[in-house]
Structure 1
Amino acid sequence: MNQFFLSEINIYPIKSLGGLSLQEAKLEEKGLQYDRRWMLVDEKGMFITQRKHAELALLQVNICNGKLIVSHKTLPGLSTSFSMDEDTGEQISVEIWNDMVNAIEVNKIVSDWFSDFLKFKVRLVKMPLTEKRLVDRDYAQNNEVVSFADGYPCLLIGQSSLNELNGKLPEPVLMDRFRPNFVFTGGEAHVEDSFKDFFIGEVLFSAVKPCSRCILITIDQQTGFKGQEPLKTLASYRKIGNKIMFGQNLLHQQTGTICVGDEIKVVSWNK
């Protein structure tokens, strides 16, 4: 019988910037603590991602002494930082996909830093603790809420799934292309497609929807270079209808602490 163990925990504090790998993390109502709680928006309040601005891949985020530190991966002198508690106090309305959400600008100085980097005016905003952005009602089970993630609190991918993909590619890619929160070992490729309800450690999750992939996975997260792979190859064997699937979107039934090395115990399977 297969055993599954958690091998990676990743968070992405600022949406579409570089992620952080953790050994343990706290799971809160909206997802992992600090995951996608900040986001860049343009002058109209529309969210900004690597899909149109691949250079965001070159900005790495770290957490140190209550601050978020943003630095350039290849230009060491280019950086900014701010307190994780900092904001202007002024709520503004921002748009992410089909949702209108209340947000608060962090401060003008850090917004100007990002504007200089992107060469157009943007603001860095954070999600207030009181904000309730609902998960898609077609898949929600109990009025779950989500941060600035695309649609669901957490994303799970099996290492075997990436290994199979890399076996088909001319050049292998790293897991960071797919921006998962959880990576696990064990089982065959895409075994996560058959997970329904399962525990990671002591926390119960449900896999509710395969994750459809877009051009973002064609961006090398180390260089910012955009190519055709691995989307082209994935389309040859992971297309369902007109969507290319890789990974599972999750909802969680409770909060708690999750650690690398935790066993994943499947309670029920999708047929």
Structure 2
Amino acid sequence: MAEPSARVKSIFIYPVKSCKGISLSEALVTPTGFRWDRQWLVVNENGRMLTQRVQPKLALVEVELPKEAFSESWEPTSDSYMVLKAPGMDTLKVSLIKPRDVVEHVSMWYWNGSALDEGPNAAEWFSKFLGNPYRLVRFDQASQIRETDPSFANGYKTLFNDQFPYLVLSQDSLNALNKILKEPIPVNRFRPNILVEGCGPFSEDLWKEFKINKLTFNGVRLCSRCKVPRTDQETGIVGTEPTETLQRFRSDKVLLPHKKPQGQVYVGQHSVCKDCFTGDKGKIVKVGDPVYIVKQLSSTAEAAA
């Protein structure tokens, strides 16, 4: 077998969208992404999603799940909780048992549907911390489907992720960026699911098909970055970097010269897992797994964005 092009350095999930992530040694691949990833969402009074773009204080909310929740066959019991912590707030415990109440007209981007309501305690907690009325909802996988954009990945689905189930980023890309930033930034600014290393800066742009632990992934679209990477994930303070620097060498004008520029900057690649729908057990990605490139583009200019 050919030598691997990279290795998995870190794995992250973000159970509550826009809150702090959890670093894992291994993660279970499901039809909607890694298990527990973006299963919860904070919404306003109208059911519209809330993210760090509008409320950067979400970055300060720590999320904990029981260790056993990451075992493949584990199912929650009445004693199973997600624990949330934030500065100046009491600890919030959210039962992992499926709630019964439903919130209608939940919306994010172009998707509208219903979601499961995590109740008045969670609503009061987020409202107090953020200063406006909010609720915490859970994706209702029994009744709702969020399909990925068929122009890029037809037939796939996700939960409360922005667009696609996985975001892949290389440590080499982050290192290259940090060499030219006045103040280096940590990987949590970019919120990847799979951080790889050993492949060279921004080589993940070119990965059309790659394998991790015998699972086939497809790179489907370059990740255009919003203002979240400008938010210090430890303080919630929003600055101008790294976007200002990225405009110089990672903008659509530079990377995609044949397309009309929209003022976007790109870091990382959205991906889907081709093998996510099979019933086989053991679909797991682990830190240290080799990454094998099966197909790749010849230049970033060919990439979908």
TM-score by length of 1: 0.95
Q: Which residue of 2 aligns with 1:258?
A: 285
Identity %: 32
Partners of 1:202 and 1:254 lie apart in 2 by: 9
Q: Which structure's CA Rg is the greater one?
A: 2
| 8 Å contact kept, 1:103–1:127 | yes
CA contact (8 A) 1:2 1:187 kept: no
| Match among 151, 175, 180 for residue 138 of structure 1 | 151
Q: 2:226 is matched with which residue?
A: 214
Aligned to 1:178: 190
Q: Aligned pair 1:67/2:88, yes or no?
A: no
Q: Show structure 1 runs of 4+ deviating over 4 A.
A: none
Name the amino acid aligned to 1:25.
A
SS in 2 for 1:161: helix
Contact 2:5–2:293 (8 Å) recurs in 1:
no
Instruction: Specify the code of the residue in structure 1 equivalent to 2:106.
Output: V
Q: Distance in 1 between matches of 2:199 and 2:98?
A: 43
Secondary structure of the structure 2 residue equivalent to 1:111:
helix
Distance in 1, Cα, partners of 2:98 & 2:124: 16
CA distance in structure 2 between the partners assigned to 1:126 and 1:70 by the alignment = 15
Q: What whole-Å deviation, never above 9, does each CA across 1:192-236 have from its counterpart, x for those lacking one?
A: 011110111121100000000011110010111111111111111
The Cα shift of 1:90 comes to 2.1
Residue in 2 that maps onto 1:190: 202
Aligned match of 2:22: 20
RMSD: 1.3
Aligned to 2:52: 50
**Cross-structure match for 2:241:** 229
Bigger strand share:
1
1:92 and 1:103 in contact (8 A); partners too? yes
Q: 1:268 aligns with which of 274, 295, 300?
A: 295
CA contact (8 A) 1:6 1:260 kept: yes
Whether 1:156 and 2:168 are equivalent positions in the alignment is yes
Structure 1: 5+ residue stretches without partners: none
Matched residues in 1 for 2:30 and 2:115: separation? Answer: 19
Instruction: Specify the alignment match of 1:80 in structure 2.
Output: 92
Structure 2 match to 1:244: 265
Q: 2:115 aligns with which of 82, 95, 103?
A: 103
Q: SS where residue 243 of structure 1 aligns?
A: coil
Q: What residue is the counterpart of 2:71 in the other structure?
A: none
Shift of 1:91: 4.3
Give the deviation of 1:2 after TM superposition: 6.3
Which amino acid letter does the alignment assign opposite residue 138 of structure 1?
S
Is 1:88–1:107's contact at 8 Å kept on the other side of the alignment? no
Please report how far the alpha carbon of residue 154 of structure 1 lies from its aligned counterpart in structure 2 after TM superposition: 0.4
Distance apart, 1:101 and its partner CA: 2.5
Give distance in 2, aligned partners of 1:96 and 1:34.
18
Match of 2:11 among 5, 9, 12: 9
**Taking structure 2 as the reference length, what is the TM-score of the superposition?**
0.85
Is contact 2:4-2:293 (8 Å) kept?
no
Distance 2:246 2:91 in 1: 35
Q: Deviations over 1:213-271 (max 9, x none)?
A: 01111001011111111111111110012210000000111231111111111111123
Whether the 8 Å contact between 2:4 and 2:292 is mirrored in structure 1 is no
**Partner in structure 2 of residue 38 of structure 1:** 40
Which sections of structure 2, spanning at least 5 residues, go unmatched? 69-79, 253-260, 277-282, 299-305
Deviation string, structure 1 residues 117-170 (Cα, Å, up to 9, x no partner): 1111111000012221000121123x1101100000000000000000000100
